[in-house]
Amino acid sequence: MYKKLAGSIVGITLASALAAHATGVTEEMIEANPSTEVIAAHMGQSTQQYSPLTIVNAKNVSKLVPAWSFSFGGEKQRGQESQAVVHDGRMFVTGSYSRIFALDAKTGEKLWKYEHKLPAGMMPCCDVVNRGAALFDNLVIFATLDAQLVALDQATGKIVWKDKIDDYAAGYSATAAPLIAKGLLVTGVAGGEFGVVGRVEARDPRTGKLVWSRPTVEGYMGYKYDQDGKAIENEISGTLNQTWVGDTWKNGGAAPWNGGSYDPKTNLVYFGTGNPGPWNSHLRPGDNLFSASIVAIDVDSGKIVWHYQTTPHDGWDYDSMTEIVLFDMDGKRTTAHADKNGFFYLNDAKTGKLENAFPFVNKITWASSIDLKTGRPNWIEDNRPGDPTKGADGAKGSVVFTAPSFLGGKNQQAMAYSPATKLFYVPANEWGMDIWNEPVSYKKGSAFLGAGFTIKPIYDDYIGALRAFDPKTGKKVWEVKNKAPLWGGAMATAGDLVFYGTPEGYLKALDAKTGKELWKFQVGTGIVASPVTWKEGNEQYIAVVAGWGGAVPLWGGEVGKKVSYLEQGGSVWVFKLSK
């Protein structure tokens, strides 16, 4: 049966059979985070990427075999960064170019698919990716490259509501999996390279109606919305012109493009924000809040309760958009964040007070350390790209070599935390860049960088490394090096395992305590997504989306050339223990 509703929906008979026993997803279910399903991005609101399941463990993982594989099909085979969600026997997985598939989680049979109709002239920064969907009630909700939100019926794939986030022609887009927090749908925006204004928004997930909107650039007004959708001024974000000079805040970037986390204990949602605009820091003196920051927002009011800026006055595109992990350390609720800038930060989840900061990559040239009293970096000023107005011809500032590169010590690839080992597992990358500043002015819909760059490897034998860290001491417990950059996330389980994928096409399982490789499988294309696991009956399943792409082949410079042999693709692979 074929139906069209402002997009392409294809359903098949098994969808109606599964609908007969479907149950809606509630906030209570999401907070309980059942190990039998995967009903939230990052495997839970705390984004720990952890499962307490032990059916598959360090002793038997060598017996993992494919259960099924599903191809996304067509010619749209690139940049598959999605993490699947699983509920009531269905898997929901997004693909590149704003597609979503519903599959039978046990067999891989397609139930339906929806293909969002994308306009010409879109300007996504970092490939045509999508990182996953949210489940609530009987809906599956995902964001699109042209900056819309689409809510579909889980059983049929029919559109229930659709809402525009912002103007794609101005550079706005959306790629992150939405967050469900206290019954609200909480999302950010992407597009910092185009001079957009970052913000976090909360909606009623059943209708798409706005509840509150919070800009993440200082000087903009936040709003709440009444039942009729009328905007009511809430409060300004920070103080106008306090950390931005003149009108520079008007195109300030700070896009929270990689999704958020939520802690019911603090009633806060946590988002990392992106780079300020433009990259040329000499055009915008000051700290430039709330760019390159962690922001903690009251989920009821939309007000910023605390913030911590990891890279004040960023001049290297060191977004702080990497995930904010919530965990308990010494009886205190704590946030953990491995930043693009190469430092790992631990903050009090209630107050934002910096508890510790340490490097998780070997080479950092922009700062020597983080001052634990002030929370500010100890700058190495000679490694800031030069002011082009002081150059010989005014067209290019002095070139500096900086590490990490702007692709980051870590980027969108999620780290994992295991409460069993009390270790973090970080997919890190060792690379640097030659970077220089150039003159630039804002033009709607055009790139707003004011910088040039070439990314370079640092070591001959590896770029990526999966590293295990003790957060209390900052000590690296073990590492496994990888020749190509790591761009896919990690998952830890109570079975003493860590799973992660490589661009060379391997899904691997390591001993969580020692890093010893215990199993691997070649999926035929690079992995740039995060694995998940769930249980049905007496069987534990492990799944990962495969398909090389993302920012590395687009922006990677010399590194991109080194990995140009890697093949694109688009599929999801599911594994279980052999009988």
- Give φ, ψ of 518 to 5 degrees: -110, -20
Residue 202 β-bridge partners: 186, 212
DSSP state of 488: S
146 tagged catalytic = no
Q: How far from the centroid of its chain's Cα atoms is residue 572's Cα?
A: 19
Strands 490-493 and 50-51, bridge-based pairing: parallel
d(CA 329, CA 55): 27
Nearest Cα residue to 124 out of 193, 195, 198: 193
Nearest Cα residue to 49 out of 362, 294, 259, 189: 259
d(CA 205, CA 185): 5
Beta strands (DSSP E) in 410-551 are 416-418, 423-429, 431-437, 451-457, 464-470, 475-482, 490-493, 497-501, 506-511, 517-522, 532-536, 539-546
d(CA 470, CA 508): 22
Q: Which of 317, 339, 348, 496 is catalytic?
A: 317
Q: Is residue 367 a contact partner of residue 355, using CB atoms and an 8 Å limit?
A: no
d(CA 392, CA 192): 30
DSSP secondary structure, 50-119, as one string: EE---SS-TTTGGGEEEEEEEE--TT--S------EEETTEEEEEETTTEEEEEETTT--EEEEEEE-PP
Nearest Cα residue to 173 out of 445, 406, 414: 445
CA angle (500 as vertex; 532, 114 as ends), nearest 5: 45
Q: How far from the centroid of its chain's Cα atoms is residue 51's Cα?
A: 19
Catalytic residues: 317
